[in-house]
Amino acid sequence: MSLEQGVAPILEMMQSAWWKIYQPWTAYQLAIVAILYGISLVIANRLEPGFETWIRGLKINAGFLRVLAALLRRTEWIVFVALGWTAFTILSTYTYPWNTFVIRGAYTLAFAWLVINVLSRIIRSRHLARFVAIFTWVIVALSLTGYLVPVSTTLDSLAFDVGQMRISALLVIKAVVLLLGLTWLASNTGNFVETRVKLMTDLTPSLQVLIGKLVKIFLVSMAIVVALNSVGIDLTALAVFSGAVGVGLGFGLQKVVSNFISGVIILLDKSIKPGDTISLGETFGWIRELRSRFVSVVTRDGREFLIPNEDFITEKVINWSFTDKLVRLDVEFGVSYDSDPHLVTKLAIEAATKVERVSKIKNPVCWMTEFGDSSINFVTRFWISDPQNGLTNIRGQVMLALWDAFKENDINIPFPHREIIMRTPVQVAPGESDLTAQTVSKKRKSVSKS
């Protein structure tokens, strides 16, 4: 079909539309539409405050509440559709059909715009929602005015051949719309399934994430296949091309594939899961989320590290809560030799027990470890069940508790004493030059500990 043949139906429809526009009843209908819209605004201003109060008091699903809020903001269009349909019904009884086409088109397009706007509220992306609304409204408008078939014919005439495949502008538009729509639907369905799976307490967190990711990948893949088949694209014709592309991607995206496979392995062997407290290199934090390419780790200072999955397979990882959330920490200290070791042990255990975060499931212990040069050395060991809340802070709290307990009981924490003995007597005269002072300082000294 040539371009001239495709444009001809559109020209005929435009001539017919111009004939209808230049009729007295067209002006009457436009005036009626304007009056009805003004009445709709007045009624909407009266109804919206009461409806808003009613909606705010509802305790329902957030998605359904969002739809009701969208309807509330378009109350004038709901009233306009009702009034337009009533006016069309009355006029159709007393005049010819072509004298009511403006009113019919106005309330029908208003109804379509209302439905599309409400449905687009489900889409979170503002730009995508606006695109869907405008595109769908254009299709509805063309269909109602009778221009859909001529426009489709014209777009189909704009085509070129690639081998045995004919690619037209209409085919491209259909493919893009179907691909975007089905992919969006598959992604949201996958998110819904993933949310429902996370509510199944019988499954482990790792298995929940694995099932959710596999379902989403399967749905998105099926959406792409269905979209391409729906527009008549033969996927077998792309087998050779896709194979070559796959080999190229295999060499160029080795790390991406490696991280993806590592993510699957992590989910299967359950070595880490959301909520675990881990240490990897200098990074210490708790796992927020497992992704197909990386693991999100949140540290105590609020920073979020996106660590590739491969690092959790090849590097040494400390999982503080792998089999048990209880973690043992040590605090070492020393007291002077004039202290009673039995009293020190008792006070250390009582002080550690009073700290809020110290676990009561396993009691703290305190052991004397050695007779040091200047002190009797001890180690206090205690357990915590929330390592994600920090390790340094709980050690500091236990040390402060020990300090307070020792101060109350006159137990001293000694510091080392050093005595320096010079083998050769040194006499420094007053006002001696800096050179003499430097010479004296270079003499050999021996240090003995007392």
Which CATH number goes with the domain that contains 310? 2.30.30.60
CB 385 within 8 A of CB 342: no
Q: In terms of Cα–Cα distance, which of 116, 121, 228 is closest to 178?
A: 228
- The per-residue pLDDT for range 83-114, each reduced to its tens digit, is 888 888 887 777 766 667 777 778 777 887 77
74 within some domain: yes
What distances in angstroms separate CA 169 from CA 2, 88, 172, 242, 310, one per listed residue?
14, 37, 5, 24, 44
201 CB-contact burial (10 Å; exposed 0-12 / middle 13-18 / buried 19+): exposed
Domain termination site, one of 202, 223, 252: 252
Whether 163 maps to a domain, the answer reads: no
Highest mean pLDDT among 28-42, 44-58, 325-339: 325-339
Report the percent of the chain where pLDDT is more than 70.
75
Which domain does 367 fall in, by range? 327-408
Does 28 lie in the same domain as 10?
yes
This prediction's pTM: 0.44
The residue out of 299, 319, 339 marking a domain boundary is 319
Q: Are residues 140 and 80 in the same domain?
A: yes
Question: Can you list the positions of beta strands (E) in 190-293?
Answer: 277-280, 283-290
In terms of pLDDT, which residue wins out, 204 or 278?
A: 278
Say whether both 207 and 93 belong to one domain.
no
Instruction: Please list, in sequence order, all residues whose beta carbon lies within 8 angstroms of the beta carbon of residue 135, skipping any fewer than 6 positions away.
Output: 177
Same domain, 335 and 357: yes
pLDDT digits (tens, 9 = 90+) for 361-379: 888 999 999 998 888 999 9
Phi and psi, residue 218, nearest 5°: -65, -45
Confidence of residue 445 (pLDDT cuts 50, 70, 90): very low
pLDDT bucket at 437, cuts 50 / 70 / 90: very low
Are residues 245 and 357 part of one domain? no
- Rounded Cα distance between 231 and 178, Å, is 9
- Over 367-412, what HEC string results? EEEEECCCCEEEEEEEEECCHHHCCHHHHHHHHHHHHHHHHHCCCC
pLDDT on residue 17: 53
> For residue 16, is it within any domain?
yes
Note whether residue 105 is domain-resident. Answer: yes
Give per-residue burial for 126-150: e unless 16+ CB within 10 Å, then b.
eeebeebbeebbebbbeeeeebeeb
Specify if 232 maps to a domain.
yes
Domain assignment present for residue 237? The answer is yes
Distance CA 293, CA 312 (A): 12
d(CA 233, CA 178) in angstroms, rounded, equals 13
Which own/partner contact pairs does 207-216 have at CB distance under 8 Å and 24+ positions apart?
A: 207/267, 207/270, 209/267, 209/273, 209/274, 209/290, 210/264, 210/267, 210/268, 213/267, 213/292, 215/190, 216/186, 216/187, 216/190, 216/191
Q: Which residue has the tokens 């006070």?
A: 347
Domain boundary among 133, 157, 181: 157
Flag whether 164 is in a domain. Answer: no
| 76-80, 219-223, 257-261: range with lowest mean pLDDT | 257-261
Shared-domain flag, residues 360 and 428: no
Q: Let me know if residue 435 belongs to a domain.
A: yes
Same domain, 225 and 303: no
18 and 149 both lie in a single domain: yes
Residue closest to 145 by CA, chosen among 171, 174, 106: 106
The partner residues of 294 in beta bridges, in order of sequence, read: 308
The per-residue pLDDT for 449 is 38
H or E segment to which residue 447 belongs = strand 446-449
Question: Structurally, how many domains does the chain consist of?
Answer: 5
Q: Rounded CA gap, 362 and 214, in Å?
A: 41
Q: Residues 266, 295: one domain? A: yes
**Residue 148 and residue 13 share a domain:** yes
264 sits in which H/E element: helix 254-269
Strands (E) in 219-359, as ranges, are 277-280, 283-290, 294-299, 304-308, 317-319, 327-335
**Same domain, yes or no: 241 and 265:** no
Distance of CA 72 to the CA centre of its chain: 30
Residue 11 shares a structural domain with residue 136: yes
User: ∠ CA(42), CA(45), CA(49), 5° rounding?
Assistant: 155
| Digit-coded pLDDT (tens) for 389-435 | 888 889 999 999 999 999 999 898 887 767 777 777 767 666 554 54
CA distance 122 to 65: 11
